[in-house]
Amino acid sequence: MFTEETVIEVRGVVQRHKHFQLGPVELSVPKGYVTAIVGPNGSGKSSLFRLLLDLSKPDEGEMTVLGERVGGDDRQLKARIGYVPDQAIDIEDHLRAEEKAAFASMWYPGWELNRYQELLRRFEIDPSIKLGKMSKGMRRKFDIALAMAHNPELLLLDEPSSGLDPIAWKTMIDVLHRYMERGDRTVLMASHIVDEVKRLADYIVFIVHGRVLGMFEKDALLESWYALYIEAGSMMASWKTMPGYRKHEQVGAQFKVVTGDVPEAERWCAEQGLRITGRQKLELDDILTVLIEQERLRMHS
Amino acid sequence: MWIPIQINELSAEPLYHQIEVQLRALIVSGQLAEGTLLPSIRELASMVKCSVITVRRVYQDLENEGLLRTRQGTGTFVAKVGDEMRDVHRRSAVIEAFESAVEAGVRVQCGEDEMREILEEILRKRREG
């Protein structure tokens, strides 16, 4: 799909859990873009992040991050990455923010005090507060600031906005846009917040029940998924042969057919002599819902 | 820098096309003067809530048309637009708008005469203020 440079390569990675299997995952994350991993809870998003950081081991497969193989000595590699996990690390609750920052600064050669303070200011964080005493939103903002203070080449964000109020959320979006401005940095983020993905992502990866369902250019994806309302008259159209067919249902005298390839589907309708009476763009969450339904059907068959 | 581009989410026109048409109109009409530095690709993408891939495509297209030029390391600027080119583009924006109006008409099975009547009516109302 890409002729461009990639920063993450995942090849045939499988991780078996008691009630769940992640993979086999194939994934290439391009450099210079924001790629959003979108999927329901429990689909394997956080497991994937942990694998990329070698915080857990795969049962099969290989991964490279920033050109380095995952699983070896990664002290230098980790210094080039910023990571915000889905849950704050509670063994650090007794630390004050400034103590945690002082500790982090020793491990990251790229740590920039001015950058750190600028982020604290932008997010309105008081660094004298103990981490355990911070509100959920404040803690989140601090984790984001901390992950970015060493100007990493790659940012891994696992549900970064959970707990943020709308103002902090806007600040985060803006901070991330500015971070990406240079064009050589990469963000891989997990999110299921539609507006967040819309505003930030360039590419979208769907993951459902541990399976990666593909990677899409965001704007092209949102422009090709439509529900078409079609007057079929007495004709019995075989909807499943429609290009990009996903599902159909009868709505009164009409049919509502969902396609993931609207230009071809419309051409097909014209050839079949079917009249389209309405068209409706699908939002990201609607697309995800259809994909989850289909994945469920696939698993039961 | 803020650029007045309005995205119609309900429109059937692809995002890149909407942005391209509006940006072209701003340049050709002179609202964006020669030499104006445009927002960076990431900046414009965040303004109109689309991906950098889309904006890059728009900048590329308009550069190929000679309306923009990119200086390595500095950014993308509005190029000099000749009068001839200005005239071509002036009409193309109008043709574009009519095309989508006709499209809307066809969708509700409006006949050609009916559409002409509607246009006449709109023009008449406008004349009378």
Read off the pLDDT band of A235 (50, 70, 90): low
CA distances from A126 to A92, A170, B63, B74 (A): 17, 19, 47, 37
Q: Is residue B5 part of a domain?
A: no
* Helix and strand numbers, DSSP H then E, in chain A: 10, 14
Q: Copy the structure tokens of residue B74.
A: 């500095």
- Give the closest of B12, B16, B42 to A180, CB-based: B42
Contact criterion met (CB < 8 Å) for A219 and B15: yes
* Cβ–Cβ under 8 Å, residues A61 and A14: yes
What digits encode the pLDDT tens for the residues A9-37? 999 999 998 888 998 999 999 999 999 99
The DSSP line for B44-87 is HHHHTT--HHHHHHHHHHHHHTTSEEEETTTEEEE----HHHHH
Q: Is residue B6 part of a domain?
A: no
Q: Is residue B96 part of a domain?
A: yes
Q: Is residue B113 part of a domain?
A: yes
Q: Is residue B4 part of a domain?
A: no
**B interface residues, A as partner, C-beta within 8 Å:** 9-10, 12, 14-16, 40-43, 45-46, 49-54, 107
pLDDT given for residue A274 in this prediction:
85
Domain hosting B52: range is: 15-128
* Cβ–Cβ under 8 Å, residues A129 and A96: yes
Chain B contacts of A219, Cβ < 8 Å? 14-16, 50-51, 53-54
Say which residue, A246 or A301, is predicted with more confidence: A246
Domain count, chain B: 1
Q: Is residue B2 part of a domain?
A: no
- Give the closest of A173, A183, A201 to B51, CB-based: A201
How far does B41 lie from chain A, in Å, by closest CA? 8
Q: Copy the structure tokens of residue A215.
A: 């990677």
Chain B contacts of A225, Cβ < 8 Å? none
CB pairs under 8 A between A and B: 42
The set of residues, in sequence order, having a beta carbon less than 8 Å from that of A138 and lying 6+ positions away, is A125, A129
Residue B113 Cα to chain centre, angstroms: 28
Q: Copy the structure tokens of residue A278.
A: 């309405």
Residue A54 Cα to chain centre, angstroms: 19
Largest CA distance in chain B: 54
pLDDT given for residue A1 in this prediction:
45
Q: Supply the CATH number for residue B26's domain.
A: 1.10.10.10
Mean pLDDT for A67-96 is: 88
For residue A295, pLDDT beyond 90: no
d(CA B114, CA B108): 11
Residue matched to tokens 């009547």: B117
Residue of A nearest to B108 (CA): A277
For chain B, give the percent of residues with pLDDT over 70: 100
Contact criterion met (CB < 8 Å) for B46 and A183: no
Phi, psi at residue A37, to the nearest 5°?
-95, 120
What digits encode the pLDDT tens for the residues A150-189? 999 999 999 999 889 999 999 999 999 999 998 899 999 9
- Give the closest of A199, A276, A281 to B49, CB-based: A199
Give me the sign of the Cα torsion angle A75, A77, A82, A83: negative
Residue of A nearest to B15 (CA): A219
